[in-house]
A and B are shown apart, each in its own frame.
Chain A
């Protein structure tokens, strides 16, 4: 019996040592102090105690046996698609030939060989020779799985896994870095490289870019080029926007260095809004191994940097000051405002150079700059008094109707019909009818606006409908308003005067844009009066913030949203899709009619509505997997109780993991793997079995059986025997 073969299942082995030391000291103390006769009893008790402790720590005994046999070598063959490339002769053909030739046959004689293939995961090799069909290469996963199969250092037949024979082109494109798995392996890896380490090829290796960019703001992208065989050459790199014209946006030359690498920064200024696909391409040459990697796409979401608001105010008044404060304190808004501080009839008290007034740049605003804004606010502003020509108003009409801009008109003495807008293009933009200047009246007096549509996104200031109603019913009074005509067809009245139902707030969609009017310029009463009552004036700020966001069709105001966790997926990757549909009250709808479909660039459409699962909290969910590369559009159309809610689209890309566009044999990776694990890197063509330094046959010991000592009856019998002996001796000594 070898004491080394005793193991304890109880994990805290330190305790055993402490208890044994304690027992020893107790015994020594007793030996010194007690009379000799009583010492024997104490010794017996100590033995019993030690036995119980020993058993409590669950000892087990390992019975080992010695074996002699051939060591196992795991042949791990990369069967990803890149192994099937022509380089210039097919790589896979070389691999097949390798397995049938003498050097490998020698290995088969020396070792017991187990055959595995891997791409995204490890699998055993069947009777048929495998094919290079794997869509990814995950070396680290393969190494981890090998380790799992033989985690005791010995497989079921008792043979010892002595090393790994990795055959690959080293183009790892999935999972962790292979070196991290190799570190934990404790097995030598003999890496056999397949392919040409430096084939002649120009390729776009990587495009570094952010997911989004700001409209009208220059953006940089960085392109990495590899060009083996093209060293010292200048290569033009072009950036194009992928649309009907595929127009070149920018071209820059890059010089390929002596390492066959090149890097270039392309700067461009995106125009328009939304998701756009861009292409980077480099020229193709006949002698290249592949031409497909000379072009690469990327997706960029062009967003507004800030909501640009132009505010024209015709008269110094509190309404401007209060709205300005809201817009200025919102970091997402960039405000440019002009207030008419002095009318032509006002007296100049001091020379002009003592005044801070600036000329009103009507031409610059309405001709040059207008389309750079997202929203125009016109408050109490008579256009014709300040050099605004009718052609400028045409431009403002185009800004809303054709360019999708937002317009707010706020009431006052010089607004609507009184501002001379009757008969101008602006009249067409307004959702309510206006009168001639002398017909349109300002109706004085305090009034509490009656809300017509609490659920409209602008009016929906509370978390629930009840809260929203409560907020509006408690909203302070306004003071005076422009008496306008009736609402035009298609307009929505949000609030009206309690007497006569004259519109106070009205909105509509006009062409591509949106328009909001308020016929009173005294909403500043709301925050002050709310504050008087000790209420928060936040609802006032929210009201104007919602007006702005609704007018520019901000993302958070859309009734339908498609949520993708990213915009770029790999082929065969799972794509979770969530659809959220909100009602007018911005509550998630649970039961709606939904049309959900996927389209590719060739306009092939797949209807997916029946795949949607309803989420308990509202909204829908599904998961897609796409194996065809390219750009896709997910579209959702929704109806609530027969009312069409709208349509939402989202673009995403499915791209290759790089199996078909990376050709170079990655010798550096394979060399590092071999070096780190104590193995060796050899090119497939130069393989010699003598390179494998693992002995073929070895004497091995393994645990044959494990016997639990703690549940053996002999020990309990021994404890009983000691107890009885101790009792008997006491009795004989007259100590009982």
Chain B
């Protein structure tokens, strides 16, 4: 446990340094990754600072080139379709989306977009959960919520090899998703994944993780990174060439 805390502390330090170094912000997107979050009528932004932590982590540990600023979009925003990965956070029940907004999200997903939804309430059958399921039943009427298999789905091996689910509070020991041809277009966590990244001004994690503490946080961080990388590489890690390596590593662990 001490080792994990130590590693995380070192990592926080590096992140802070990197934040200081990232003084120049790119205004042009180009081929850079943009953290795009949906603003809707309701409590859409429970963790306003979380994007910076996640983006810095991705920049330091992977080859992803990121724009440091978060992009907040509404469903009638032109920029929505400039970001193929959309993050939807929430804690509470929210009103029914307008017909045009439902149509927009349908087009977004059909055009190749991927949506990650994180229920930050930490409760089973929360108001947010009910509202999300209601809306996606409208957005993808033929879509079916499925549990993403931990042994097979590329989201659990797109960068880190994962066997468990992380989050602030383990409500479900699985991720759910809706598949479209060739990809999982909607990924849904009910474990308040993003809360595990949130820090106070002194750089300490603000929320504790239960029941497994820091180990659970570590898994949440890795799972978050995997979800982002899945949006950028798709089913890459299911390719035949990776299988022997992944199997051997999983076996070793």
Identify the A interface with B (CB < 8 A). 314-322, 324-325, 328-329, 335-343, 346-350, 353-358, 380, 412-413, 442, 444-445, 479-480, 521-522, 524-525, 527-532, 534, 537
Q: Are the C-beta atoms of A527 and B112 separated by less than 8 Å?
A: yes
Q: Are the C-beta atoms of A522 and B112 separated by less than 8 Å?
A: no
Q: Hey, which chain B residues are within 8 Å of A335, CB to CB?
A: 239
Q: How far apart sit A550 and B86, CA to CA, in the bound complex (Å)?
A: 35
Digitize B202-234: 1 where CB-to-A-CB distance is under 8 Å, 0 elsewhere. Answer: 000000000000000010001000000101111
Q: Are the C-beta atoms of A342 and B62 separated by less than 8 Å?
A: yes
Q: How far apart sit A341 and B236, CA to CA, in the bound complex (Å)?
A: 11
Chain A residue with the shortest CB-CB distance to B14: A347
Q: Are the C-beta atoms of B60 and A537 separated by less than 8 Å?
A: no
Contact stretch, chosen from B117-125, B131-139, B153-161, B166-174: B153-161
Q: Hey, which chain A residues are within 8 Å of B181, CB to CB?
A: 329
Q: Are the C-beta atoms of A354 and B236 separated by less than 8 Å?
A: no
Q: Hey, which chain A residues are within 8 Å of B80, CB to CB?
A: 532
Q: Are the C-beta atoms of A358 and B241 separated by less than 8 Å?
A: yes
Q: Are the C-beta atoms of A319 and B31 separated by less than 8 Å?
A: yes
Q: Hey, which chain A residues are within 8 Å of B104, CB to CB?
A: 532
Q: How far apart sit A86 and B182, CA to CA, in the bound complex (Å)?
A: 68
Q: Are the C-beta atoms of B111 and A356 separated by less than 8 Å?
A: no
Q: Hey, which chain B residues are within 8 Å of A340, CB to CB?
A: 63
Considering only residues 21-42 of chain B, those with a C-beta below 8 Å from chain A are: 28-31, 33
Q: Hey, which chain B residues are within 8 Å of A341, CB to CB?
A: 62-63, 159, 229, 233
Q: How far apart sit A730 and B245, CA to CA, in the bound complex (Å)?
A: 115
Shortest Cβ distance from B205 into chain A, in angstroms?
A: 16
Is B249 part of the binding interface, using a Cβ–Cβ cutoff of 8 Å? yes
Chain A residue with the shortest CB-CB distance to B228: A316
Is B82 part of the binding interface, using a Cβ–Cβ cutoff of 8 Å? yes
Is B252 part of the binding interface, using a Cβ–Cβ cutoff of 8 Å? yes
Q: What total of chain B residues lie within 8 Å of the partner, measured CB to CB? A: 52
Chain B residue with the shortest CB-CB distance to A537: B111
Considering only residues 177-215 of chain B, those with a C-beta below 8 Å from chain A are: 181-183
Shortest Cβ distance from B187 into chain A, in angstroms?
A: 14
Q: Are the C-beta atoms of B31 and A346 separated by less than 8 Å?
A: no
Is B126 part of the binding interface, using a Cβ–Cβ cutoff of 8 Å? no
Contacting B31 at CB < 8 Å: which of A317, A348, A353, A528? A317
Q: Hey, which chain A residues are within 8 Å of B112, CB to CB?
A: 322, 325, 524, 527-528, 531, 537
Q: Are the C-beta atoms of A321 and B84 separated by less than 8 Å?
A: yes
Is B110 part of the binding interface, using a Cβ–Cβ cutoff of 8 Å? yes
Q: Hey, which chain B residues are within 8 Å of A534, CB to CB?
A: 107
Q: How far apart sit A574 and B168, CA to CA, in the bound complex (Å)?
A: 79
Q: A316-B62, A318-B84, A353-B249 are in contact. List 14 more A-B contacts (CB 8 A).
A: A315-B31, A321-B84, A336-B239, A336-B241, A341-B63, A354-B249, A356-B157, A358-B241, A358-B245, A522-B30, A527-B112, A532-B81, A532-B104, A537-B110
Given contacts A325-B183, A349-B61, contact A317 B241 (CB under 8 A): no
Identify the B interface with A (CB < 8 A). 7, 11, 14, 28-31, 33, 57, 60-65, 80-82, 84, 104, 107-108, 110-113, 157-161, 181-183, 218, 222, 229, 231-237, 239, 241-242, 245-246, 249, 252-253
Q: Are the C-beta atoms of B253 and A346 separated by less than 8 Å?
A: no
Q: How far apart sit A337 and B104, CA to CA, in the bound complex (Å)?
A: 32
Q: Hey, which chain A residues are within 8 Å of B82, CB to CB?
A: 479, 525, 528
Chain A residue with the shortest CB-CB distance to B106: A531
Q: Hey, which chain B residues are within 8 Å of A349, CB to CB?
A: 7, 11, 57, 61
Q: Hey, which chain A residues are within 8 Å of B246, CB to CB?
A: 356
Q: Are the C-beta atoms of B249 and A316 separated by less than 8 Å?
A: no
Contacting B30 at CB < 8 Å: which of A324, A336, A479, A529? A479
Q: Are the C-beta atoms of A531 and B110 separated by less than 8 Å?
A: yes
Q: Are the C-beta atoms of A528 and B84 separated by less than 8 Å?
A: yes
Q: Which 9 A-B pairs have the closest CB atoms?
A: A531-B111, A444-B28, A480-B30, A532-B81, A358-B245, A528-B111, A356-B157, A531-B107, A316-B232
7 residue pairs of the A-B complex, CB under 8 angstroms, read A324-B233, A347-B11, A348-B61, A355-B249, A356-B249, A479-B29, A532-B81
Shortest Cβ distance from A337 into chain B, in angstroms?
A: 7
Q: Hey, which chain B residues are within 8 Å of A358, CB to CB?
A: 241-242, 245
Chain A residue with the shortest CB-CB distance to B112: A527
Q: Hey, which chain A residues are within 8 Å of B108, CB to CB?
A: 528, 531-532
Q: Are the C-beta atoms of B28 and A445 separated by less than 8 Å?
A: yes
Q: How far apart sit A528 and B78, CA to CA, in the bound complex (Å)?
A: 11
Q: Hey, which chain A residues are within 8 Å of B222, CB to CB?
A: 350, 354
Q: How far apart sit A442 and B65, CA to CA, in the bound complex (Å)?
A: 15
Q: Hey, which chain B residues are within 8 Å of A356, CB to CB?
A: 157-161, 237, 242, 245-246, 249
Contacting A354 at CB < 8 Å: which of B107, B158, B160? B160
Q: How far apart sit A529 and B242, CA to CA, in the bound complex (Å)?
A: 33
Q: Hey, which chain B residues are within 8 Å of A531, CB to CB?
A: 81, 107-108, 110-112
Chain A residue with the shortest CB-CB distance to B85: A318
Q: Hey, which chain A residues are within 8 Å of B84, CB to CB?
A: 318, 321-322, 524, 528
Chain A residue with the shortest CB-CB distance to B26: A444
Q: Hey, which chain B residues are within 8 Å of A346, CB to CB?
A: 60-63
Q: How far apart sit A316 and B229, CA to CA, in the bound complex (Å)?
A: 7
Shortest Cβ distance from B217 into chain A, in angstroms?
A: 13
Shortest Cβ distance from B164 into chain A, in angstroms?
A: 12
Chain B residue with the shortest CB-CB distance to A410: B31
Chain B residue with the shortest CB-CB distance to A317: B31
Shortest Cβ distance from B35 into chain A, in angstroms?
A: 14
Chain A residue with the shortest CB-CB distance to B241: A336
Q: How far apart sit A521 and B33, CA to CA, in the bound complex (Å)?
A: 13
Q: Hey, which chain A residues are within 8 Å of B234, CB to CB?
A: 321, 324-325, 328
Q: Hey, which chain A residues are within 8 Å of B218, CB to CB?
A: 350
Q: Are the C-beta atoms of B253 and A354 separated by less than 8 Å?
A: yes
Shortest Cβ distance from A675 into chain B, in angstroms?
A: 61
Contacting B236 at CB < 8 Å: which of A317, A324, A413, A532? A324
Given contacts A336-B239, A353-B252, A480-B31, contact A314 B232 (CB under 8 A): no
Chain B residue with the shortest CB-CB distance to A343: B63
Q: Hey, which chain A residues are within 8 Å of B107, CB to CB?
A: 531-532, 534
Q: How far apart sit A315 and B231, CA to CA, in the bound complex (Å)?
A: 14
Q: Hey, which chain A residues are within 8 Å of B232, CB to CB?
A: 316-318, 320-321
Shortest Cβ distance from A372 into chain B, in angstroms?
A: 13
Q: Hey, which chain A residues are within 8 Å of B110, CB to CB?
A: 531, 537
Q: Hey, which chain A residues are within 8 Å of B245, CB to CB?
A: 356, 358
Shortest Cβ distance from B86 into chain A, in angstroms?
A: 11
Shortest Cβ distance from A633 into chain B, in angstroms?
A: 40
Q: Hey, which chain B residues are within 8 Å of A319, CB to CB?
A: 31
Q: How far apart sit A314 and B63, CA to CA, in the bound complex (Å)?
A: 8
Q: Are the C-beta atoms of A527 and B111 separated by less than 8 Å?
A: yes
Q: Are the C-beta atoms of B161 and A354 separated by less than 8 Å?
A: yes
Q: How far apart sit A315 and B234, CA to CA, in the bound complex (Å)?
A: 14
Q: How far apart sit A208 and B144, CA to CA, in the bound complex (Å)?
A: 49
Q: How far apart sit A314 and B253, CA to CA, in the bound complex (Å)?
A: 29
Q: Hey, which chain B residues are within 8 Å of A350, CB to CB?
A: 160, 218, 222
Q: Hey, which chain B residues are within 8 Å of A339, CB to CB?
A: 233, 236
Q: How far apart sit A340 and B159, CA to CA, in the bound complex (Å)?
A: 11
Q: How far apart sit A685 and B219, CA to CA, in the bound complex (Å)?
A: 95
Chain A residue with the shortest CB-CB distance to B80: A532
Chain A residue with the shortest CB-CB distance to B242: A358
Shortest Cβ distance from B246 into chain A, in angstroms?
A: 6
Shortest Cβ distance from A436 into chain B, in angstroms?
A: 21
Contacting A337 at CB < 8 Å: which of B33, B60, B236, B252? B236
